Amino acid sequence: MFKKKLEYSFIILSILAVIYLAKNYYESYQFKHNDIPNEYKNRIIQKEKEVLNLMQKHYGYAYKVPLIITDKFKGRLYGLCVYKDGEVSIYLNKKVMQESIDYMVDSVIAHEYAHALMFKLGHISKNTDGHSAQWREACVKLGGINCGKYVSKEDVIMGKLPF
């Protein structure tokens, strides 16, 4: 009797495991081939609003730039701020979003917006990698976490897109 019960439990557990794996597979498959999940989109939009509100508060205007989510990134960069022909755009790496959505929302959006703001303010220097003291101050004011350290020094692009 006890043995039978154990067998049933095992079968049920196996079925649950298969369902769980299938669901995981489906989710990552869907993520790869379709747009990002709405939950991520909403979090990004919400964070951008917060960043722009903070910009309004500290700098007197909200400088909104196109925020583009793309899977065309090469390598492991989280985000990019691109300045081309007088236009500033921010790109977020879709490929690392699933594993790093919290980091994207908490740190990367404010980080890249601080770069955008530097372009807007004319604080552009070809001699630095873009992470100046002014940039750091802006990053903090825009609500960024981890403005002291940055993962990549090559996230500011002037001119042609790297992809």
- Determine which residue in the list 88, 95, 107, 155 makes contact with Zn ion, applying CB under 5 A: 155
Q: Is 135 helix (H, G, I), strand (E, B) or coil?
A: helix
C-alpha 127/C-alpha 125 separation (Å) is 5
Q: Which is nearer to Zn ion, 44 or 90 (CB)?
A: 90
48 binds Zn ion (CB under 5 A): no
* 100-139 footprint of Zn ion as x/- string (CB under 5 A): ----------------------------------------
Binding residues for Zn ion, rule CB under 5 A, total 1
Least distance in angstroms from the C-beta of 137 to Zn ion: 14
Strands lying side by side in the sheet with 87-93: 67-70, 87-93, 79-84, 156-158
Least distance in angstroms from the C-beta of 111 to Zn ion: 5
Region near Zn ion per CB under 5 A, out of 13-21, 22-30, 41-49, 154-162: 154-162
Q: Which is nearer to Zn ion, 37 or 162 (CB)?
A: 162
Q: What b/e string do you get for 123-135 counting C-beta neighbours within 10 Å, with b at 16 or more? A: eeeeeeebbbeeb
- Give residue for tokens 């903070």: 54
Which region holds residue 96: left if phi is over 0, alpha if psi is between -120 and 50, else beta? alpha
Least distance in angstroms from the C-beta of 87 to Zn ion: 18
Q: Is 32 helix (H, G, I), strand (E, B) or coil?
A: helix
Tell me which residues in 76-105 interact with Zn ion (CB under 5 A). none
Residues that bind Zn ion (CB under 5 A): 155
